Amino acid sequence: MGWRTAVVALTVALAACGGSRDEPAPRTPIATPPAPPPGTPSDCVLAERWEPCLVTKRLENAGLVPQLLDSAATLPMFNRPVWHYQLGRGELFVVLYADSTARRADLATVDSLTVSRRGAAAHPWSMPPLLVTSRNLAAVLLTESQHLAVRVEETFTAGLPLLAPK
């Protein structure tokens, strides 16, 4: 039961039990929950681009349990810091760019099958990588689970939520 439902049920119960019909029941102020601190996932719901908190929230909404291992890892094929997650029976590396143009420029020299720089030795991934892109995000998943691969790919390729009209 959500907190709003609980407050409404409590208010109705108090009103039903309070005083005679001639006397109005005393009003109980309804507490409003505190606003979440900046950077929490609720701040990322209406985003125009992928942000770290939105990545985490979308993975959790897909029923996954991402554990952030490093938020500043490096991989030779990306020109940006990499967010490294443990994701069930797999590992997920997420790179966030300023926009999709920057992502496309960085990935222009990356072989999408081996997720290595073209012309360089193949990166020694522990298993075959799966490259997923969406807007300003590039993600590399390492897993032997086809089920996990499909869930992660669908999580990101479904896109971001639509922005509310202004």
Residue-wise pLDDT tens digits, 113-122: 999 999 999 9
pTM of whole model > 0.75? no
User: Does the pLDDT at position 166 exceed 90?
Assistant: no
Q: Closest Cα to residue 57, out of 48, 44, 74?
A: 44
Q: What is the pLDDT of residues 42-73, one digit of tens each?
A: 555 556 899 999 999 999 999 999 999 999 99
- Residue 71 contacts residue 85 (beta carbons within 8 Å): no
SS3 58: helix
The β-bridge partners of 87 are: 66, 90
